Chain A
């Protein structure tokens, strides 16, 4: 098992810091946009609710841009740009398909971290808002209601909405495995582009409002199918073919 974990180190070395950087940049952008939007509204002496502030601050576009960049960062280490790294991978005393699967799990963890960091940033911003905003704009229910009423925030923090929570988890796995498997196919001379449409669809379909069970289940089914076919695409290649 140690050999398999070692085989993941080049990808880990090349992605973890960059992923942290993207999460940090996204967080900084959100803090800057959120606080400046709030201050501008206060200067205009116009009260602004947390829901409107989240939309004005563009939290969702920042999240989406960060996710696209993150997927690009996860794909790049496995691609052969100026060297045929595939020659090295296939000379290791490990099965490249197992390495790719573990790599997918590693990428999934990175994406889950990004999701978690976005939740943490939003909760921190909401906490700051609740303490700073005029009392007439804030109630004990403000945070919960905002998350229920804003499709993006509801998807980011689904709370008791289990289908959305499961969809997010499977979506992270789908993108994590897709990024690892894309480079596996490229290293083995097979052109694959699945990550790009999957990432764009994941970003565009991410906001789901409350009581949207059918669309959520449909998205979950798409994520599961994509995940299954992505992993199957690796394992159907025999050792010598891979």
Chain B
């Protein structure tokens, strides 16, 4: 169980990115993390991984996250965290030596599925291929908790669809995904739970089965939670055209 208790994070200038976030994510969950730009999604993930200093407590099975258990977490980020000058084969060797639970078969299968070159430096890949490789590494590390921050930014729709399908097919029951994305409608059938962040706070937390029981879509839930004003655009346009 990944548990966040009263997690706070402020940046320089007092800008509060996370404000008393409480969240528990259990084994096997596929959680979508949603929120507007600046809501704190990326910050939340970086705090979990210890990439940023924070207030509050984050534990993994009641243990603080240190070098002893950090390998149970993996991270795929749109900023990319691979070594650009190394080849996929070199990454495989590095991950195999570094992470005892490295999933060699999964790595090979995903590399083949996405038709990525094993012996070319990753920097020579296209943006979409780089994203794919980043996600492949995160999925193959052998981690129990796989954190993904906008992993498909720059990939086309067919590519993303393929990935969701493959992901659902390969995940084992104990593997947990925390996926931050703006692509709500695309991932709604793939996730089991949606967590909404707003101005650094958890504004909503619901399972997709709850949504189904209530007869609501994920988009409706998000709009309700954020009190989305549907007539906002028409009002703004009326104002603008009225000025002219």
Inter-chain contact A3/B98, CB cutoff 8 Å: yes
Q: In the complex, what distance in Å separates the CA atom of A239 from the CA atom of B97?
A: 23
Q: Is A82 an interface residue (CB 8 A)?
A: yes
Chain B proximity of A17: nearest CB distance (Å):
11
Contact residues in A for B85 (Cβ distance below 8 Å): 14, 77
Chain A proximity of B122: nearest CB distance (Å):
8
Contact residues in A for B43 (Cβ distance below 8 Å): none
Contact residues in A for B71 (Cβ distance below 8 Å): 91-93
Q: In the complex, what distance in Å separates the CA atom of A85 from the CA atom of B82?
A: 6
Contact residues in B for A6 (Cβ distance below 8 Å): 94, 97-98
Inter-chain contact A10/B51, CB cutoff 8 Å: no
Q: Which of A84, A85, A88, A240 contacts B50 (CB 8 A)?
A: A240
B-side interface residues, number (CB < 8 Å): 29
Q: Is B73 an interface residue (CB 8 A)?
A: yes
Chain A proximity of B143: nearest CB distance (Å):
9
Q: In the complex, what distance in Å separates the CA atom of A88 from the CA atom of B46?
A: 12
Can you list 24 pairs linking A and B with CB atoms under 8 Å apart?
Answer: A3-B98, A7-B98, A9-B90, A10-B83, A10-B86, A10-B90, A13-B90, A83-B81, A83-B122, A86-B81, A87-B49, A88-B82, A88-B83, A90-B49, A90-B51, A90-B70, A91-B49, A91-B75, A92-B71, A93-B67, A93-B71, A95-B67, A240-B53, A241-B53
Contact residues in B for A241 (Cβ distance below 8 Å): 53
Closest to A10 in B: B83
* Extra contacts besides A85-B81, A87-B49, A94-B67 (6): CB < 8 Å: A6-B94, A77-B85, A83-B122, A87-B81, A88-B82, A91-B73
Task: Give the top 4 A-B pairs by smallest Cβ distance, nearest first.
Answer: A87-B81, A83-B80, A6-B97, A88-B81
Which B66-89 residues sit within 8 Å CB-CB of chain A? 66-68, 70-71, 73-75, 77, 79-86
Contact residues in A for B75 (Cβ distance below 8 Å): 87, 91
Which A1-39 residues sit within 8 Å CB-CB of chain B? 2-3, 6-7, 9-10, 13-14
Q: In the complex, what distance in Å separates the CA atom of A92 from the CA atom of B83?
A: 14
Q: Is B174 an interface residue (CB 8 A)?
A: no
Q: A6-B98, A10-B90, A84-B77 known; A93 and B82 CB under 8 Å?
A: no
Inter-chain contact A93/B83, CB cutoff 8 Å: no
Interface string of B103-145 (1 = CB under 8 A from A): 0000000000000000000110000000000000000000000
Closest to A5 in B: B97
Q: In the complex, what distance in Å separates the CA atom of A83 from the CA atom of B84?
A: 7
Contact residues in B for A239 (Cβ distance below 8 Å): 66-67
Q: Is A40 an interface residue (CB 8 A)?
A: no
Q: Is A81 an interface residue (CB 8 A)?
A: yes
Chain B proximity of A163: nearest CB distance (Å):
39
Chain B proximity of A99: nearest CB distance (Å):
11
Chain A proximity of B91: nearest CB distance (Å):
9
Which B88-102 residues sit within 8 Å CB-CB of chain A? 90, 93-94, 97-99
Inter-chain contact B123/A82, CB cutoff 8 Å: yes
Q: A91-B49, A93-B68, A241-B53 known; A83 and B79 CB under 8 Å?
A: yes
Q: In the complex, what distance in Å separates the CA atom of A77 from the CA atom of B84?
A: 9
Inter-chain contact A84/B79, CB cutoff 8 Å: yes
Contact residues in B for A9 (Cβ distance below 8 Å): 90, 93-94, 97
Q: Which of B53, B70, B90 contacts A92 (CB 8 A)?
A: B70
Which A41-72 residues sit within 8 Å CB-CB of chain B? none
Contact residues in B for A92 (Cβ distance below 8 Å): 67, 70-71, 98
